[in-house]
Amino acid sequence: MHRITVIGGGLAGLTAAITAAEAGAKVTVYEAHHTLGGRARTSEGPYRTNDGPHALYNGGPHWSWLQQRDLIGPLAPLPPLEAARLRLRHKGALRRTPPFAMLKLLRHSAQQAPADVDFMSWATGQAGEEGARAAAHYSAVALFHHDPGALSAAFVQERLRRATKLPPEAHYPRGGWAGVVDRMAARAWNLGVRMETLSRVDALPTDTPVVVATSLDAARRLLHDDSLTWPSGRTTLIDLALRTRRGDAFAVSDLDSPGWIERFTAQDRTLAPAGEQLLQGQIPIAPHETRADGVARAEQLLDLAFDGWRERVTWRRESVANGRTGAVDLPGTSWRDRPGIDRGDGVYLAGDQVAAPGVLSEVSFNSALTAVSLALGRNALDLKHA
C-alpha cells in the first residue's frame, strides 16, 4: 500500500488526502492550525464570515468533483429580486447596467485575448479606453489586484468571463464554506485518513512521498527554496453588520477603481442575527497604499449604495490580505510558468499559486489532483473518476 504525507489541511490538502485515500493510499495530514480549512474557514460566532468575500464557481472542476461525492451540501440561492440589486459605480454615480463599451468585451464572440499583452492595452483596442478600464475593474471581484489592467490579457479575460456569465457561476454554500470543509474532513476520515491538527511541520518527511499543500510562502520556507514565489494580490477586507433596511443593494462593484462589496445575507439569512445584514468587501490596494486607503474607498462605496449605513453599524472588522488570494499572471506568463508541482525526490506542491489552471481555489484543487497522481504514478483523470 502507498503511504502519503500531506502538509496543510486547507482545500488543497483535503482534496489531496481524499484523492489519495480513494486510490487506496494510507494518508496522514498535518495541519498547523487547530482546525482544518485554511483560508476556506468560516468564523464562529454570530457573524459567520469567510476570509473575505467567497463564492464557489460552479463552472470549475472542483464543483463537479465535490458534487459527485455529495460534499457541497445545501446552497443558499440568490433570490432574483436580490440579484437585480447589483449596482455598479461608474464615473462617481451608481448605475444598474454596465457601460455599453464594457459590454463589447463580454460578448461570446469577443476575441480570445493574448497572454503576452496587458489587458488594458488589448481591451482598449477592442472596446476603447473607457470600456477597457471598467471591465478591468469589474474583474477585480475574482482577482483581488490593485491594477488588473496591467496583468496578462488572457488571464484577466478568463476571470471576467467567469465573473459575468449568465446564469451566474457564483454559488454560496449555506452557512459559509465551513460546511464544505466539514464534509470534506468527514469524507477523509471515513476513508481512513489520519488528520493531526495543531501539528506544524518544520522539516519534510523523507520516508513517504509528500504533498506540500500550504501557501506558497510557507512552502518556500519548508523547502528552503527561494525560487518559490509568484505575484498575488493585496486587498483590504472589510466586514460589516448593519441593521436591516429595505432596498439595500445586493452588491456594489466599483468600475472607477477595483473594489467589491457584497451583502451576503441577501442569499443566506443564517450568516447574521435576525434584523441584521452581513456585508463583506474587498478593496485591492497598491504596494504603497495602506489599509486606511482601502477602507476610505470602501466607505465611499458604502455611502453611495447603502443609505444611512454609518448609523446602522452593529459590528465591524477590517484587515489586509497580502498574497492570500491566489496567483496573478503578468503579461508574457501563464499558469504554466508558476512554480512547478513536482519538486523532485517525492515532494509535490499543491495550492493556489502553483502551476495548475483554474480560477482562485480551483488552482488548489487542480494542483492537488496532479500532485497525488504524480505521487502515486497514476493518471490524474483516473483519480478524478475513482
| Binds ligand FAD (CB under 6 A): choice among 4, 6, 11, 132 | 11
Query: Is residue 12 a contact residue for ligand FAD (CB under 6 A)?
Result: yes
Query: In this structure, are residues 191 and 21 in contact, taking their beta carbons and an 8 Å threshold?
Result: yes
31 counts as binding ligand FAD under rule CB under 6 A: yes
52/331 with CB nearer ligand FAD: 52
Binding segment toward ligand FAD, per CB under 6 A, in 32-40, 122-130, 153-161, 240-248: 32-40
Q: Which is nearer to ligand FAD, 54 or 183 (CB)?
A: 54
Instruction: Yes or no: say if 327 and 190 are a contact pair by the CB < 8 Å rule.
Output: no
85 contacts ligand FAD (rule: CB under 6 A): no
Of 9 and 346, CB closest to ligand FAD: 9
List C-alpha distances in Å: 30 to 4, 150, 194, 304: 11, 38, 9, 46
Stretch 47-76 residues interacting with ligand FAD (CB under 6 A): 51-55
Instruction: Rank residues 19 and 126 by Cβ distance to ligand FAD and give the closer one.
Output: 19
Percent of residues in the chain assigned helix, strand, coil, to nearest 5:
35, 20, 40
> With binding defined as CB under 6 A, does residue 233 bind ligand FAD?
no
**C-alpha count within 13 angstroms, C-beta hemisphere, residue 22:** 21
Q: Which is nearer to ligand FAD, 28 or 215 (CB)?
A: 215
What's the alpha-carbon Rg for the chain, to the nearest Å?
A: 21
Q: Which range, of 29-37, 263-271, 291-299, 307-315, touches ligand FAD by CB under 6 A? A: 29-37
Return d(Cα 338, Cα 327) in angstroms, integer. 8
Give DSSP secondary structure letters for 258-281: S-EEEEGGGT-GGGS-TTEEEEEE
Among 352, 373, 376, 383, binds ligand FAD (CB under 6 A): 352
Backbone angles phi, psi at 56, to 5 degrees: -100, 120
Q: How many Å apart are CA 288 and CA 158, to the nearest integer?
A: 28
Q: Which amino acid does the sequence have at 57? A: Y
Distance (Å, whole) CA 50 – CA 262: 12
Residue 121 or 197 with smaller CB distance to ligand FAD: 197
User: Per the omega criterion (within 30 degrees of 0), is the bond before 168 cis?
Assistant: no
Q: Check residue 7 for interaction with ligand FAD (CB under 6 A).
A: yes
Report the distance separating Cα 64 and Cα 384, nearest Å. 10
In this complex, which beta carbon is closest to ligand FAD, that of residue 14 or of residue 101? 14
Question: How many angstroms separate the CA atoms of 115 and 94, rounded?
Answer: 32
Cell of 90: 461608474
Site membership for ligand FAD, residue 13 (CB under 6 A)? yes
33 binds ligand FAD (CB under 6 A): yes
Using the contact rule CB under 6 A, the part of the chain among 11-19, 102-110, 127-135, 256-264 near ligand FAD is 11-19
Taking the least distance from each CB to ligand FAD, the nearer of 4 and 101 is: 4
Q: Which part of the chain contacts ligand FAD (CB under 6 A), choosing from 17-25, 91-99, 213-221, 243-251?
A: 213-221
> Which parts of 188-207 interact with ligand FAD (CB under 6 A)?
200-201
| Residue selected from 284, 326, 331, 346 as contacting ligand FAD according to rule CB under 6 A | 326
42 secondary structure, DSSP code = B
Query: Is residue 83 within 8 Å of residue 298, measured between CB atoms?
Result: no
CB nearer to ligand FAD: pick between 29 and 120: 29
CA distance linking residue 298 with residue 253, whole number of Å: 11
| Contact set with ligand FAD (CB under 6 A) | 7-13, 30-33, 38-40, 51-55, 200-201, 213-215, 218, 222, 237, 282, 321, 324-326, 351-352, 360-361, 364
